[in-house]
Structure 1
């Protein structure tokens, strides 16, 4: 039995008691106390009936009789609904009250702290692993590779090869790399000249050249005598020794021939027209190398390897505890300790909430109206009686008791008069 039913039962009992008391006192005459009680029961009965009529008239026609100004709630359902919607929407849950209440709560800090505290649970760990895996798998590797290739090409195309060449030559001169390169060339030439097959080939080439030389007269006689004296091997050894002696002299930095050669090389490299030719050659070589290297494919392969390694990494047992939780905790602490940043985040969040409330506040009234309209009059009255009927039934009890007491008082006044 509900509270409203208990109250209704109590109110009915009180009304019955007053009726029985009034009827019972009609059969006793003469006693003062009987007249007092009769007046009390009579007034209590009138008060109880009047309050029963008033309470009942709120919800329905008393005894089913369509008395004017009864069944007030069904007749005024629309007014009651509007008043209820207006009270809740504009007073209890007004935009201003909601906004002011939210302004008292540090929403961002509470959200951050709460999220950080929940990371230690098993469900949160599994969620972080799943979220990380999902995020990694959703990366558009082909698009990233294309973007990477485009950016690398832009960087390479933006390089001033002429300026780079000049700076490179400056470094070569400053660090002596030109001298080292020249010495390397001398070493290479010496190693080649020292080979027997090279020596013999140089001798054969020189002998053939002498034989084909037509000087005429005494010069021709001398050349023929020289060629007959030296065979290919001797002639090759002679040329070999001559070249080795020349190389040995060029190794000395003080050798004028070396200085002349290095100066000629420097002049050629420093010549603007030659530098322009070198720059054009490097530029063509640069574009060709980027095309042949298939940069987009290489970048895609690299990103795929990194993705596989990242997926393997997030499935490690210590991934969340060692990496995620410390990182999130540190970030939360830094944000919460940064008062200026925290204020900006709070202001931004409250501004968004205020906009959302502004855009959706009318839905509170619509929701209340929708829920009220779902019930017919009978069901709505039953619900209201169940919620507030108990208190209303006590009005009937109080009316009967107060009427009883007032009746006794009035009887006393009548007797005194």
Structure 2
């Protein structure tokens, strides 16, 4: 529809320019018939110069797009004859003026991409939209996956990584991290407090008393019978349990209060010795490797790893198909939190912008080269007739004004020359 309208406007302007030329020709003929005297001399001078101007500008306008009257006149059909040169010059112009490193980085920084993206993500509607698209793409990709083959590949990958993993050394390094800056002593304090709180519970004392009586009856039956003659064995057990708990509590409190307690030093030595063996003792390594191989060789473990992917995929498909998808909700919340976090931290916004600007600058040369080559190849591959037709529809209407202006300006010049001849006769 738009092209039809442009074609109509172009034809309209062509007919108008042609009509003006025909009018000038009629005036010229009429002025000749009246002998070119008086006012007709002025009209004749105007119409004669106007025709020359109209024809000259018609030739110039037509020569841009095609050969006038289909005659192979040199330096005509400028656009189709110079298509390759135009492509190269256009590519260079766009490359140097729009895709320079300085221009691209300046525009990118002015655009403030981090804040724009964060603002967009902060909207629940946008975050939900993006989460839905991500999940759709993921589920669509899963539809092309061979479950059995992927399951085997996953199992093999897990097995291969576990077999290559030095588990003893890894555990030793992990323990190193846990004991850094005496963090294991803090863990010991937590354990002491937990044991103390458990011992303070009434149920613990009662259970401990029961155990004491049972062991005493089994190991020392005669003593318990004699004791039963003078007092209740249940009460005896509770008293012994209470005394035992109080003693243990005092001992635990001593360890907790004294950072140099012998038991703490003993715990340090035990942890250090254990970590050292994990990291360097071949016997420990061999034992751990044996446990690992035994674990990997269990049929149930192999089956579990092989079916892990299938189970995970089915869960994802069920979740995505539901109206209340957990994956979509979680993704949406993550996007929104990230957007708000960036907006609330100007330093983070600036850092992200700096990284994007840096990446833009680093990629500028590649972008310039790629875009330039694309422009050159695209223009060169254009059909000459189609290209000329499109350009003529785009600017041809305005070019017809050149013909109209040429007609009128030529006529004015003709009148001016006629006046000069009358004022300065030869």
TM-score > 0.5 by shorter chain: yes
Alignment partner of 2:25 out of 14, 19, 25: 19
What's 2:100 paired with? 94
Superimposed CA distance per residue, residues 138-173 of structure 1 (whole angstroms, 9 cap, x where no aligned partner):
99688679979979865389879xxx9xx9xxx8xx
Distance apart, 1:130 and its partner CA: 5.2
After superposition, the Cα gap between the structure-2 partners of 1:3 and 1:366, relative to the gap in structure 1 and judged at 3 Å, is farther
1:155 aligns to 2:171 (yes or no): yes
What's 2:88 paired with? 82
Three-state SS of the structure 1 residue aligned to 2:111 is coil
1:349 aligns to 2:356 (yes or no): yes
Superimposed CA distance per residue, residues 170-217 of structure 1 (whole angstroms, 9 cap, x where no aligned partner):
x8xx98x9xx999956742424664xxxxxxxxxxxxxxxxxxxxxxx
Distance apart, 1:66 and its partner CA: 3.5
> Quick check: 1:40–1:408 contact (8 Å CA) kept in 2?
yes
After superposition, the Cα gap between the structure-2 partners of 1:125 and 1:244, relative to the gap in structure 1 and judged at 3 Å, is same
After superposition, the Cα gap between the structure-2 partners of 1:416 and 1:84, relative to the gap in structure 1 and judged at 3 Å, is same
Q: How far apart, CA to CA, are the structure 2 residues paired with 1:159 and 1:83?
A: 67
Alignment partner of 1:398 out of 384, 405, 409: 405
Which residues of 2 match residues 199-278 of structure 1 at below 5 A? 241=222
1:328 aligns to 2:322 (yes or no): no
Distance apart, 1:38 and its partner CA: 0.8
Q: How far apart, CA to CA, are the structure 1 residues paired with 2:319 and 2:49?
A: 88
Larger radius of gyration: 1
> Quick check: 1:142–1:300 contact (8 Å CA) kept in 2?
no
Q: How far apart, CA to CA, are the structure 1 residues paired with 2:49 and 2:69?
A: 22
Distance apart, 1:333 and its partner CA: 1.2
1:368 aligns to 2:375 (yes or no): yes
Distance apart, 1:245 and its partner CA: 5.6
> Quick check: 2:46–2:412 contact (8 Å CA) kept in 1?
yes
After superposition, the Cα gap between the structure-2 partners of 1:193 and 1:394, relative to the gap in structure 1 and judged at 3 Å, is same
Distance apart, 1:396 and its partner CA: 1.5
Distance apart, 1:358 and its partner CA: 2.3
Alignment partner of 2:217 out of 185, 190, 202: 190
Three-state SS of the structure 2 residue aligned to 1:51 is helix
Distance apart, 1:126 and its partner CA: 4.1
> Quick check: 1:148–1:299 contact (8 Å CA) kept in 2?
no
> Quick check: 1:44–1:401 contact (8 Å CA) kept in 2?
yes
Distance apart, 1:372 and its partner CA: 1.5
Three-state SS of the structure 2 residue aligned to 1:361 is helix
Superimposed CA distance per residue, residues 48-80 of structure 1 (whole angstroms, 9 cap, x where no aligned partner):
122222223333333333444433334433333
After superposition, the Cα gap between the structure-2 partners of 1:131 and 1:192, relative to the gap in structure 1 and judged at 3 Å, is farther
What's 1:48 paired with? 54
Distance apart, 1:304 and its partner CA: 6.3
Distance apart, 1:118 and its partner CA: 5.5
> Quick check: 1:119–1:125 contact (8 Å CA) kept in 2?
no
> Quick check: 2:99–2:364 contact (8 Å CA) kept in 1?
no
Three-state SS of the structure 2 residue aligned to 1:104 is helix
Distance apart, 1:105 and its partner CA: 1.0
Three-state SS of the structure 1 residue aligned to 2:34 is coil
Moved more, 356-365 or 123-132: 123-132
Moved more, 370-379 or 34-43: 370-379
Tell me the TM-score normalized by structure 2: 0.59
Unaligned residue ranges in structure 2 (runs of 5+)? 1-6, 177-183, 200-206, 230-235, 241-262, 278-283
Three-state SS of the structure 2 residue aligned to 1:29 is coil
After superposition, the Cα gap between the structure-2 partners of 1:2 and 1:89, relative to the gap in structure 1 and judged at 3 Å, is farther
Distance apart, 1:407 and its partner CA: 1.8
After superposition, the Cα gap between the structure-2 partners of 1:402 and 1:126, relative to the gap in structure 1 and judged at 3 Å, is closer
What's 2:416 paired with? 409
Q: How far apart, CA to CA, are the structure 2 residues paired with 1:394 and 1:13?
A: 13
Three-state SS of the structure 1 residue aligned to 2:382 is coil
Q: How far apart, CA to CA, are the structure 2 residues paired with 1:36 and 1:399?
A: 18
Superimposed CA distance per residue, residues 283-339 of structure 1 (whole angstroms, 9 cap, x where no aligned partner):
89x979967995986899799699699868785727479755444323321222111
Unaligned residue ranges in structure 1 (runs of 5+)? 195-240, 255-269
Count of equivalent residues: 337
Provide the aligned C-alpha RMSD in A.
5.4
Q: How far apart, CA to CA, are the structure 2 residues paired with 1:416 and 1:188?
A: 146
